[in-house]
Amino acid sequence: MPTVFSVPSVRFRAPVLAGLAVAMALALSGCESGEDRAERHFSNGVALIEQGEVTQGLLELRNAVRLLPEHVEARLAIARAENARGRSAAAFGEFMQVVERAPEQLEARVALARLALQEGEWAVAERHGRAAEELAPDTDEVRFVVAMLDYRDAMVAEDRAAADDAAGRINAMIDDFPRDGMAWRLVIDHALAQGTQMQAGLARLEEALVQRPDIREFHELRIRVLNELARPDALREALHDMYAQFPDDEDVLRGLVGYLMQRDEQPAAEELLRVRADLDGAPQEHVLQLLDFINTTLGSEAALAEVDARIAAAEDDALRLHAARAVLRLGTGDHDGAIAELETALAAAAPSDERNDVRAELARMALATGETDRARAMVAEILDEDSRHVEALKLHAAWLIDDERTTDAIAALRTAQGRAPRDTAVMLLLGRAHEREGDRGLAGERYAQAVELSGNAARESLNYAGFLLVDNRLDAAESVLTSALREAPANADLIAALGQVQVARGEWDRAQRSIWQLRALDTPAALRAADALEADSLMQQGRTQDTIAFLETLVADGSEESAALAALLQTQVRAGEIDGARALLEERLAERPDDPTLRFLGAGMMVLDGEIDAAEAVYRELLAEFPSAEAPLRVLHGLMIAQGRIDDAQALIDAVLAEVPEAVVPRMLRAARLEQEFDFEGAIAIYEELYASNRDNLVFANNLASLMATHRDDAESLERAFLIARRLSGTEVPAFRDTYGWIQYRRGNHADAVTYLEPAAAGLPNDPFVQYHLGMAYHAVGRTEEARVQLQRAIDLAGGAVLPQFDRAREILASLADAPADAPDAVPDLAPSEAAPLD
């Protein structure tokens, strides 16, 4: 009778066998050493990589080095694989692990040297390259690396013969290493460094680009060389080659389009943009760029026709096209129609990121038409839906900056930066926020980052250069402008700005080259800039007669005659050639008696001749015809004040403001008059309006903060004055330093106040209020003798003026005279006192 245990059921056999296999594997692994397991992982990894399974192979190799950290071959295999797939940093780290364990490993030494050369890390390359040279000096790859190191050493030592020898060795071997970008850089550098070998350098560039068309630097260098060699046809081909290699690089596209436009090839430029916009899957931004180009070159009617055709042909949502159409209509002055069209398109669109983008554009339109509250409401709605929407955050941050809420603005901009780390507008706003806080160091860093992110674009570079020039950092400004000009060598604004820096530094020859560059552009704007720069250069050199001769040439040629004539007359008057100036002006007035500029200049000549009534009549006529003209108003108002005709001056301002209520100059003159009449609240009200209209204007900010800190006692006004004046802390303008220093005094920061008020008093030695401020600060910090000197000086300069500031100065002087020599100073009085607003 068979037993029930003799044969297992068939359906249980497979699980039993599987279980046995696992048990045996576990038993075997328990017997396998760590070295054996590492070797198994290594063998598997190498095999997988050879089969193309790189990720899985690397996993096996890493298991090998985890089990056996000294497994040099596994580390070498990892380094080779990482290097092969372009992960240079990971490869470098693994090769370093190899040489730390096996310093004599030649392959790792050579690889480290070449990777370091690729990144321009010459010290690292030198260390590993020389080590490889000691190990195997006759190996081709080692000799190649050594030749590159020798070339660099020779160039640093300015040893031309050694450089020629090293370059010759690189040239002899480069065909064996055709993909080595650094080697190509060095042979190109050597060819171009000869000065007379520009053609040879170009030939080397062409060879390098065949092997490494992916290196942008080679394309840029070829373009510069071709430009210098004046080969326009080859230059066109080179720009097209670069665009074909980097079709998504906006800077490359701008360079090609700019070149075509400079050569009056507008149809070719348009076709380039059109082909790009019509590619399958092309982003809407490419279409928008085409529309912007057509609008700029052919006008709004052509651009509207283009967008209408695209809207009609659109198979899906055309929201962005409607937005573009609305922007075009806005540019034609059809504000209401543009906004209505966009609102209609938005109402029909489903919620999406694109819809929020277009709503942000609508907010900008509302802002452009003065509907600030509406724009703010739209931005708030967008941020309620998407708190990280970049365009909405930029608008929101700009308003926060205007409201002096810079901490909140910076937080919003950092959120935007997280989503759009390369957005230069975000970086410019961050710089503006830091500048408003008075932290010019951080502001400068942000502006510099904007320049870097933009690839040295003109807008960002001009912004940063202007910031640097405020601090008189001429070297840094020149460097920024020079880098920008490498990217846009025909940008007139950049050339003119660089010329101004060169004039400021007294580099007359270099300034003259900038003038020639501007004239070579041969555009009206460039020629105006060249004329202004040349006249300024001559005047700054003290070459008065040369300046007169130059301006006479401009007048004779009819080049911007009114401006040139004004400059010429002013220069003649300064040189004492009044008869010549008068004769020239009379000649021009006889030819064009109705010319307003000539009439204004003629009135100025009448003032010089003492014909005040006749001059006043001309100024009044000009203001009647051009009520918003600032120059005749300033001069006529100044004449009336000088004559003691205060009521007439006030009536003049009232008459101009009745015609042009928003004019800036008459409002500033009115504010100054109110201050003289001790109506400080009236003056503050005017500056509140002016500041609200332009919160970046330092004069408005200074005057408002000064008036508030001087003539108001409440803590809220003092705090607001401080928030407005923070930006003044880093400037060197004496009046700004006085305002900020006095606010620091009012806030109880007496030592800081002295720091700002000392240079302010030195810069404004005849202003009684500034001297008074410094005297009070000295008194507060216990510098008694200096306080006595400053307060007495303030009283003397005030000339008997009956004002509370100088009464207080007399009280303190009396107390100091009565106090014993070793008595402590009295606690300072923090009552408000007058600062000196700018006018």
Question: Which residue bears the tokens 């509302």?
Answer: 366
Task: Please write down the long-range contacts of 231-237, taking CB distance under 8 Å and 24 or more positions apart.
Answer: 232/263, 235/259, 236/260
The set of residues, in sequence order, having a beta carbon less than 8 Å from that of 747 and lying 6+ positions away, is: 718, 722
The set of residues, in sequence order, having a beta carbon less than 8 Å from that of 314 and lying 6+ positions away, is: 321
Q: Is residue 401 one of the residues assigned to a domain?
A: no
- Please name which of 222, 216, 217 lies closest in space to residue 247, comparing C-alpha atoms: 216
Burial 266-289 (b: 16+ CB within 10 A, else e): beebbebbbebbeeeeeebebbbb
| Per-residue pLDDT, 832 | 40
Q: Is residue 753 one of the residues assigned to a domain?
A: yes
What CATH code is carried by the domain that includes residue 749? 1.25.40.10
The residue type at 807: D
Distance CA 37, CA 151 (A): 47
Task: Out of 211, 246, 281, pick the residue that ends a domain.
Answer: 246
The set of residues, in sequence order, having a beta carbon less than 8 Å from that of 667 and lying 6+ positions away, is: 657, 686, 689, 690
Maximal C-alpha separation, the chain: 148
Q: Is residue 611 one of the residues assigned to a domain?
A: no
Q: Is residue 680 one of the residues assigned to a domain?
A: no
Q: 751-764: per-residue pLDDT in tens?
A: 999 999 999 999 99
Question: Three-state SS string across 450-503, please?
Answer: HHHHCCCCHHHHHHHHHHHHHCCCHHHHHHHHHHHHHHCCCCHHHHHHHHHHHH
Task: Out of 197, 222, 246, pick the residue that ends a domain.
Answer: 246
Q: Is residue 702 one of the residues assigned to a domain?
A: yes
Q: Is residue 532 one of the residues assigned to a domain?
A: no
Q: What is 234-250 written as a DSSP string?
A: HHHHHHHHHHHH-TT-H
- Please name which of 420, 422, 366, 365 lies closest in space to residue 393, comparing C-alpha atoms: 420
Contact status, residue 392 vs residue 383, Cβ threshold 8 Å: yes
Q: Is residue 160 one of the residues assigned to a domain?
A: yes
Question: Three-state SS string across 589-629, please?
Answer: HHHCCCCHHHHHHHHHHHHHCCCHHHHHHHHHHHHHHCCCC
Domain carrying residue 751: 693-818
Distance CA 679, CA 633 (A): 23
**CA dihedral (173, 177, 178, 184) positive or negative:** negative
- Please name which of 106, 162, 155 lies closest in space to residue 130, comparing C-alpha atoms: 106
Q: Is residue 797 one of the residues assigned to a domain?
A: yes
Task: Out of 225, 246, 267, pick the residue that ends a domain.
Answer: 246
**CA dihedral (818, 820, 825, 826) positive or negative:** negative
Helix ranges (H only) for 712-833 are 715-725, 734-746, 750-763, 768-781, 784-798, 804-818
The CA-atom distances, in angstroms, between 360 and each of 71, 323, 379, 696, 766 are: 58, 10, 7, 23, 52
| Per-residue pLDDT, 194 | 66
User: To which H or E segment does residue 566 belong?
Assistant: helix 561-574
Count of domains for the chain = 2
Question: Which residue bears the tokens 């060095």?
Answer: 186
Q: Give the global pTM.
A: 0.60
- Please name which of 731, 735, 734 lies closest in space to residue 705, comparing C-alpha atoms: 735
Ranges of the chain with pLDDT below 70: 1-32, 194-197, 315-317, 535-536, 538-577, 818-839
Distance CA 120, CA 132 (A): 18
Question: Which residue bears the tokens 């042979």?
Answer: 187
- Please name which of 730, 741, 744 lies closest in space to residue 441, comparing C-alpha atoms: 730
The CA-atom distances, in angstroms, between 769 and each of 670, 714, 789 are: 21, 21, 14
SS3 content of the chain, % helix, strand, coil (to 5): 80, 0, 20
- Please name which of 282, 204, 291, 222 lies closest in space to residue 248, comparing C-alpha atoms: 282
